[in-house]
């Protein structure tokens, strides 16, 4: 529907309450319903932090991002639950399926939030009656609580759903905006991050009302284009459409925080292989290819660096991701560095088909075999590609001679092999085909366990197990 249409819109923002904990309570009510629970990642390692706490746990002082130890000290009867992302994805899909029974105009914002434009939904009753019905159905059919915001636009609906939790139903209109929204601190406004909030407060703008009254010229001078937009939003003006099409992915990546700092390049290479494997799998599942490989390194000092390399040809092949990440590691790993976190991201993604077309129009008749990298994976590919001659790694490199010699890669063969192994793994599970380097004692091999994976990421990544589509919050998955 037209953004500037004179018909006032009716927009719902549906936000599931303590979603991960609620999913466990729904799946095993005898064990978890009505009890203080917390979903926490790997309690035995240092990223054992609370990801979500149930409302019963929150009322006893447990908060997200607390360490497991802190949480148990605060609430000794707390029940800790290991994450089950398959369960969350399944229930998330069930939630959105119910909402879509009312309108096709549903915009998924994260695994547990969506907007729905219900302007034209035939329903006898008010918009809040409709919202109440959806809320009741989600509770009755899925045993999941949610808060719903009702408003004439996305921004106000989002603000409204946040006001009463759990199981709230809150309406913000252009009439009650002044009493409801304007007294709130500017830092609580959707779209205002902590840094912007700090700047606004320093400018004397500490409430949403003060922002609404601010001079847009003055503010855009200080904050750029965003300044003017924020004044508009604070006045309740938001013409953004509900877009049911998922945003195209710009990048796909994985990072992993290690339980023990790594100082041996050989061990880092093993982690990189597992990261490259899962990034490659996901990129291929989306039928995408990417042009830039980014390596993220965090050291024991907590200093974090990212280093990037652009590929001659966009790819989704694990071997090339691995080789490139390894070469970045080789070039940028300081001597005697201890590494706490490693990550690989493939960026500048584009659909596989467009990349193939581009390649054909650009390089007619290029030989198939391309020297892509200085390093080999020392993997199952040696027997099909043959090994070769020379070691390019300078002896003063921190990687030393830990890595096998370079070789020619036949792209087409790699691609065909990827298709076969992907098909096998889709059918029989991730571990049915593994490269030798992937079998390790460190936690990077858990990247293949999709059920628990995600806790080290601390992000809500929405990825349907059956279809493989992904809707990250901002077009970027990490």
Interacting residue ranges for Mg ion, rule: CB under 5 A:
15-16, 112
For 134, phi then psi, to 5°, come to -60, -45
Nearest-approach distance from CB 284 to Mg ion, in angstroms: 31
Question: Which phi and psi (to 5°) does residue 41 adopt?
Answer: -85, 145
Closest to Mg ion by CB, 16 or 457: 16
Quick one: 17 or 463, whose CB is closer to Mg ion?
A: 17
3-state helix, strand, coil in the chain (%, to 5): 40, 20, 40
Residue 16 or 271 having the CB closest to Mg ion? 16
CB of 43 to Mg ion, least distance (A): 23
Buried b (16+ CB within 10 A) or exposed e, 443-475: bbbbbbebebbbbbbebbbbbeeeeeebbbbee
Catalytic residue, candidates 56, 107, 113, 443? 113
**DSSP H helical ranges for 150-207:** 154-161, 177-180, 194-202
Q: Helices 225-234 & 216-223, crossing angle to 10 degrees?
A: 140
CB closer to Mg ion out of 112 and 319: 112
CB of 112 to Mg ion, least distance (A): 4
Q: Which of 50, 114, 34, 45 is nearest to 83 (CA)?
A: 50
Q: How far apart are CA 98 and CA 103, in angstroms?
A: 10
Taken as a whole, the chain contains a residue count of 478
Contact 18, 38 (CB under 8 A): no
Residue 15 or 117: which CB sits closer to Mg ion?
15
CB of 314 to Mg ion, least distance (A): 36
DSSP H stretches of helix in 203-264:
208-213, 216-223, 225-234
Taking the complex as a whole, how short is the minimal distance between the CB of residue 18 and Mg ion, in angstroms? Answer: 7
* 254: its two tokens: 């994985």
Least distance from Mg ion to the Cβ atom of residue 81, Å:
17
In the complex, the smallest distance separating the C-beta of residue 16 from Mg ion, rounded to whole angstroms, is 5
Cβ distance 9 to 127 under 8 Å?
Answer: no
Q: C-beta of 13: minimal distance to Mg ion in Å? A: 10
The label of the residue with tokens 């908060």 reads 63
113 tagged catalytic: yes
Is residue 314 packed enough to be buried (19+ CB in 10 Å), middle (13-18) or exposed (0-12)? buried
Of 58 and 340, the one with the shorter C-beta distance to Mg ion is 58
Q: Which is nearer to Mg ion, 145 or 290 (CB)?
A: 145
Question: Under a CB-based contact definition with an 8 Å cutoff, are residues 284 and 418 in contact?
Answer: yes
Smaller CB distance to Mg ion: residue 92 or 445? 92
Contacts 24+ apart (CB under 8 A), 308-315: 308/347, 312/370, 312/372, 313/355, 313/359, 313/370, 313/411, 314/289, 314/290, 314/348, 314/350, 314/355, 315/289, 315/290
Opening angle at CA 87, ends 84 and 91, nearest 5: 145
Q: Which residues are catalytic?
A: 113
């Amino acid at each position: 529907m037209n953004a500037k249409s004179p018909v006032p819109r009716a927009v719902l923002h549906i936000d599931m309450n303590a979603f991960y904990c609620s999913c466990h309570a729904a799946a095993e009510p005898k064990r978890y319903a009505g009890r203080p629970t917390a979903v926490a990642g790997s309690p035995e390692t240092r990223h054992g932090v609370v990801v979500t706490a149930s409302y019963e746990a929150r009322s006893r002082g447990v908060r997200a991002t607390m360490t497991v130890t802190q949480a148990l000290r605060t609430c000794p009867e707390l029940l800790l639950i290991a994450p089950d992302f398959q369960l969350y994805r399944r229930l998330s899909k069930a939630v959105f399926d119910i909402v879509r029974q009312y309108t096709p105009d549903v915009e998924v914002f994260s695994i547990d939030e969506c907007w729905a434009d219900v302007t034209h939904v035939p329903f006898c009753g008010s918009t809040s009656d409709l919202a109440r019905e959806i809320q009741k159905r989600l509770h009755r059919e899925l045993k999941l609580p949610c808060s719903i915001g009702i408003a004439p636009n996305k921004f106000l609906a989002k603000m409204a759903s946040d006001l009463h939790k759990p199981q709230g139903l809150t309406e913000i209109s252009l009439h009650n905006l002044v009493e409801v929204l304007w007294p709130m601190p500017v830092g609580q406004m959707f779209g205002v991050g902590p840094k912007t909030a700090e700047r606004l407060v320093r400018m004397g703008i500490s409430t949403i009302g003060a922002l609404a009254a601010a001079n847009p010229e003055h503010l855009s001078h200080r904050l750029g284009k965003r300044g003017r937009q924020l004044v508009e939003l604070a006045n309740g003006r938001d013409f953004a459409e509900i877009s049911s099409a998922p945003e195209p992915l710009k990048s796909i990546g994985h990072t992993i925080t290690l339980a023990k700092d790594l100082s041996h390049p050989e061990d880092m290479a093993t982690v990189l292989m597992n990261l490259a494997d899962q990034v490659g799998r996901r990129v291929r599942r989306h039928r995408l290819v990417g042009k830039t490989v980014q390596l993220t390194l965090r050291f024991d000092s907590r200093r974090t660096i990212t280093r990037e390399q652009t590929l001659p040809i966009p790819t989704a092949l694990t071997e090339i991701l691995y080789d490139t990440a390894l070469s970045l590691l080789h070039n940028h790993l300081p001597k005697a560095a201890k590494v706490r976190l490693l990550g690989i991201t493939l960026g500048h993604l584009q659909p596989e088909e467009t990349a193939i077309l581009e390649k054909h129009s650009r390089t007619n008749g290029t030989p198939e075999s391309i020297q892509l990298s200085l390093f080999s994976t020392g993997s199952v590919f040696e027997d099909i590609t043959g090994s070769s001659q020379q070691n390019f790694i300078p002896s003063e490199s921190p990687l030393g001679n830990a890595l096998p010699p370079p070789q020619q890669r036949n792209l087409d063969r790699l691609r065909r092999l990827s298709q076969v192994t992907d098909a096998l793994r889709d059918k029989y599970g991730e571990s049915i085909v593994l490269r030798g380097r992937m079998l390790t004692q460190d936690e990077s091999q858990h990247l293949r366990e999709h059920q628990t994976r995600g806790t080290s990421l601390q992000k809500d990544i929405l990825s349907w197990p059956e279809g493989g589509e992904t809707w990250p919050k901002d077009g970027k998955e990490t």
